[in-house]
């Protein structure tokens, strides 16, 4: 006999199940788990409550040293105000010159989590994936945040680069095509 365990739906039995008491068993098991899966008190510290992932190859460019919001963003609504959010991102960055730099950082809503307007979590410069027309690099980082809320929180990757030089997330020379970048948010109990 098969069954389906789902954190949102509890336990269900697929149609065609030969279990005579499927409804009674489902009700009994779900009463042990709670209406929405395991009760909060049953989840040990360090448990992953939920995961959100976003992948995009949409481009956003910055033309100066000012941090610019990109399309690489994800929103999560923590189930507990005591939870932390573990953020992972990998951002493909293209700098339109061989003698330039770029940074990337994480914002929670309107707060720069690196605490600086010019220091980020990822950086690249001359010689990193360079070609005669520019340079390609991957900025990746993780950050453990404690937003202390059960309201929705948006984490956005911002980029900046050398003044006067185009810095683009998911950018590349025309003959390559746009690469993908991703962000993953994990609520940790």
Q: Are residues 77 and 156 in the same domain?
A: yes
Q: Are residues 16 and 55 in the same domain?
A: no
Instruction: Give the closest residue to 174 by CA, choosing from 129, 122, 134, 115.
Output: 134
Instruction: Give the pLDDT of residue 73.
Output: 96
Q: Are residues 72 and 141 in the same domain?
A: yes
Q: Are residues 107 and 20 in the same domain?
A: no
- Kind and range of the H or E run holding 53: strand 48-56
**DSSP per-residue codes, 94-110:** EESSSS--EEEEEEETT
- Kind and range of the H or E run holding 5: strand 4-6
Do the beta carbons of residue 119 and residue 52 sit within 8 Å? no
Instruction: Give the pLDDT of residue 19.
Output: 43
Q: Are residues 90 and 121 in the same domain?
A: yes
Range of the domain at 110: 48-188
- Supply the CATH number for residue 53's domain: 2.60.120.1340
**DSSP per-residue codes, 125-184:** -TTSSB-SS-EEEEEEEEEEE----SS-EEEEEEEEESTTS-EEET---TTT----EEEE
Q: Are residues 26 and 114 in the same domain?
A: no
- Kind and range of the H or E run holding 92: strand 84-95
Token pair for 91: 């951002």
Instruction: Give the pLDDT of residue 35.
Output: 54
DSSP state for residue 44 in the 8-state scheme:
P
Q: Are residues 121 and 79 in the same domain?
A: yes
Q: Are residues 9 and 87 in the same domain?
A: no
Per residue of the chain (189 residues), what is the pLDDT tens digit? 333 444 444 455 545 444 444 444 455 545 555 555 555 557 788 899 999 999 999 888 887 778 899 999 999 999 999 999 999 999 998 888 777 788 888 999 999 888 765 555 666 654 444 445 677 788 888 999 999 999 999 999 998 887 778 888 888 776 677 889 999 999 998
Instruction: Give the closest residue to 59 by CA, choosing from 173, 163, 180.
Output: 180
Quickly tell me which residue has 């493909």 as its tokens: 92
Domain count, the chain: 2
Instruction: Give the pLDDT of residue 121.
Output: 60
Instruction: Give the pLDDT of residue 144.
Output: 93
Q: Are residues 89 and 16 in the same domain?
A: no
| Separation of alpha carbons 96 and 94, rounded Å | 6
């Amino acid at each position: 006999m098969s069954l389906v365990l789902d954190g949102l739906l509890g336990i269900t039995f697929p149609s065609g199940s030969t279990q005579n008491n499927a409804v009674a068993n489902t009700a009994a098991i779900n009463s042990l788990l709670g209406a929405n899966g395991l009760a909060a008190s049953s989840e040990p510290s360090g448990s992953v409550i939920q995961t959100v992932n976003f992948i995009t190859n949409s481009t956003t460019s910055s033309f100066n040293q000012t941090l610019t919001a990109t399309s690489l963003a994800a929103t999560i609504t923590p189930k507990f105000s005591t939870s932390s959010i573990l953020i992972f991102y990998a951002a493909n960055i293209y700098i339109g010159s061989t003698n330039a730099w770029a940074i990337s950082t994480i914002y929670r809503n309107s707060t720069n989590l690196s605490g600086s307007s010019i220091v980020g979590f990822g950086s690249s410069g001359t010689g990193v994936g360079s070609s005669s027309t520019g340079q390609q690099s991957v900025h990746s980082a993780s950050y453990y945040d404690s937003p202390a809320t059960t309201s929705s929180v948006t984490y956005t990757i911002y980029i900046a680069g050398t003044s006067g030089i185009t810095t683009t997330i998911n950018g590349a020379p025309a003959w390559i095509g746009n690469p993908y970048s991703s962000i993953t948010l994990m609520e940790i109990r």
